[in-house]
Structure 1
Amino acid sequence: MAEISSSGYKEYVAGLSAGVAAVATGHPFDTVKVMLQKHNAEAHMIQYRNGLHCTARILKTEGIKGLYRGATPSFVGIAVEGSLFFGIYSQTKVYLQGGVQSGEPRPQVIIPSAAFSGAIISFVLGPTDLIKVKGIFRGGCATLLRESIGNVVFFSVYEYVRYHMHSNIKANSSNHRNLVDIGVGIASGGLGGVAFWLTVLPLDVAKTLIQTNPDKNCPRNPFGVLSSGWIEGVLYSLGATVSRAFPANAATIVAWELALKMLGIKRD
């Protein structure tokens, strides 16, 4: 589906809204994942049976604010990232379409637009990781590959699911149309997010291994790192990653599309 009209700054504002929605939905999942990894790996700490047990414990002892511990920096960082990411994707897509409306999604437009926006974002994510790993370009290759490849998959799934769902669902009123738009956004965004992580989770594990290795001279080729012992890391994080991917990306897309509509950027 192609944009009929576009206004530069508005696409970045819509992307900022998407970033805020991503943190609001996804941060509790990240909190639970960190608690599971930290507490279950260290002696003399609470042992959680699973994610639900961990969530219930946090809510009981700290309330809802416990799930959003440390969320403020994330809101700022992800909001800026979302603004750049969706703004660059939208404007690159419009440029490649030459301003001509196009019905069915075209790979020759989606793939370079998604890859380019993902590549740019990988350089934004590098300094963010500096706080954690004290090496601004360490793991940069893995991050670049993860964001470029992953976002090609994400936007391809999103655009095609969105197109075919809208093509087969007819709304009889404006109220029904709004509900359809939200439902399609949930399905297309959620499935796109799951597809993203199923595709690039090995690269994400490689990035983590490179960034957390205490040896400053450790190998930084992600494929070399993946050649040994990466399956365990993928399997360990698969459940938590996928369970977060659907709701977080569904909320992100719904917020993005609603923001575009409110800002007057129309889509077929």
Structure 2
Amino acid sequence: MSNFQLEDFAAGWIGGAASVIIGHPLDTVKTRLQAGIGYGNTLNCIRTVFRRESVFGFFKGMSFPLSSIAVYNSVVFGVFSNTERFLSQHHCREPEASPPRTLSDLLLASMVAGVVSVGLGTPVDLIKIRLQMQTQPFREAHLGLKPRNAAFGKQPAYQGPVHCIATIVRTEGLAGLYRGASAMLLRDIPGYCLYFIPYVFLNEWITPEASTGPSPCAVWLAGGMAGAISWGTATPMDVVKSRLQADGVYVNKYKGVLDCITQSYQKEGLKVFFRGITVNTVRGFPMSAAMFLGYELSLQAFRRDHTVTSS
């Protein structure tokens, strides 16, 4: 346990807060496109949200993820960094040597981080999506009713994050907070592999060999590209997860992951699983760039302070 470092968790918390502030407006657009109706494309969705709910509509549900996703990213980055460091040093025969990063170690550490992320991230994503979706048009599929909108003349289902949590627990039990967990697991295990691994290799490729460490520009570019790759490829399962978690605001349509996939495909075809891929990819760049930049800069600051204190 001598290789365990708490600085990774603290730096992940700072990076997570930065990523939420940067990415939440586009996250709202992504969720509306994937689980809502009446939006033709990304630009139409942006115009519709702005016209109906003003600029504040893009920040619906942000207070909860801002306070919780920072903790979530703290754990994910802390678990990944410490797991990868443990695996690398386990293979290294010389304790004082700087262990090389191997693809197998990065892959295993990413998978561990993906599994851990589901336990913390599912309730966070669920609350965020429920709050984002409660003011958009919805259709009661099994009742044949016309689309309705809860924003006009009707009381929203949830009055805030705390009320949303209480309502879900009361109506669906504690298990209701983990609705969509299976889809999130299928999204996040490969998703984090395509998040951390491209970042590490792109960062090393961009950074000159003579440099003592990556520059902020290299971190920003590598982090942004890794985020775009990860979120773009994760879109099909992200669609399923968003629909499962949005389901239940007013009615329940899906019995599980396979039922959601089947119903979505039968009604909207294969293209439904790529809904929001543009905004997912575009949003992934600034969010991840802010995440990794906040993480790396914070980590460097913590280590400088530690060095000064030790001397």
Compared CA separation, residues 138 and 86, structure 1 to 2 (3 A): same
TM-score, length-scaled by structure 2: 0.67
* Equivalent residue letter for 1:85: V
* 2:254 is the alignment partner of 1:220: no
Compared CA separation, residues 39 and 112, structure 1 to 2 (3 A): closer
Instruction: Return the structure number with greater relative CO, CA threshold 8 A, min gap 6.
Output: 1
* 2:66 is the alignment partner of 1:72: no
Compared CA separation, residues 51 and 188, structure 1 to 2 (3 A): farther
For residue 219 of structure 1, report the CA deviation from its aligned partner.
Answer: 3.7
* Equivalent residue letter for 2:197: S
The counterpart of 1:201, out of the listed 231, 235, 240, is 235
The counterpart of 1:244, out of the listed 271, 283, 292, is 283
The range that moved more, 125-134 or 153-162, is: 125-134
Partner of 2:215: 181
For residue 223 of structure 1, report the CA deviation from its aligned partner.
Answer: 9.2
The counterpart of 1:191, out of the listed 225, 230, 233, is 225
More helix by share: 1
Partner of 2:133: none
Q: Aligned runs of 1:84-123 on 2, under 5 Å?
A: 84-98=75-89, 100-103=97-100, 105-123=101-119
Map Cα deviations across residues 49-70 of structure 1 (whole Å, 9 max, x no partner). 54665687699x55xx665444
Question: Are the counterparts in 2 of residues 25 and 247 from structure 1 also a CA contact under 8 Å?
Answer: yes
TM-score, length-scaled by structure 1: 0.77
d(CA) in 1 for partners of 2:292, 2:233: 19
1:8 aligned counterpart, secondary structure? coil
* 2:18 is the alignment partner of 1:21: yes
Partner of 2:206: 165
Compared CA separation, residues 222 and 78, structure 1 to 2 (3 A): farther
1:16 aligned counterpart, secondary structure? helix
Question: Are the counterparts in 2 of residues 16 and 83 from structure 1 also a CA contact under 8 Å?
Answer: yes
Coordinate RMSD, CA, aligned: 3.6
Question: Are the counterparts in 2 of residues 141 and 222 from structure 1 also a CA contact under 8 Å?
Answer: no
The range that moved more, 138-147 or 222-231, is: 222-231
Map Cα deviations across residues 163-184 of structure 1 (whole Å, 9 max, x no partner). 111146x66xxxxx89x61111
Partner of 1:262: 301
1:41 aligned counterpart, secondary structure? coil
Partner of 1:156: 197
The range that moved more, 70-79 or 186-195, is: 70-79
Give the structure with higher Rg (CA): 2
d(CA) in 2 for partners of 1:224, 1:56: 30
The range that moved more, 27-36 or 139-148, is: 27-36
Map Cα deviations across residues 167-224 of structure 1 (whole Å, 9 max, x no partner). 46x66xxxxx89x611111111111111112222111112223332744772433895
Question: Are the counterparts in 2 of residues 191 and 246 from structure 1 also a CA contact under 8 Å?
Answer: yes
Compared CA separation, residues 242 and 80, structure 1 to 2 (3 A): same
Compared CA separation, residues 115 and 222, structure 1 to 2 (3 A): farther
Compared CA separation, residues 102 and 20, structure 1 to 2 (3 A): same
Where in structure 2 are there 5+ consecutive unaligned residues? 90-94, 131-167, 307-311
d(CA) in 1 for partners of 2:259, 2:78: 29
Identity percentage over the alignment?
25
* Equivalent residue letter for 1:72: S
For residue 38 of structure 1, report the CA deviation from its aligned partner.
Answer: 9.1
2:12 aligned counterpart, secondary structure? helix
d(CA) in 2 for partners of 1:38, 1:217: 12
Partner of 2:270: 231
d(CA) in 1 for partners of 2:183, 2:46: 31
For residue 75 of structure 1, report the CA deviation from its aligned partner.
Answer: 0.8
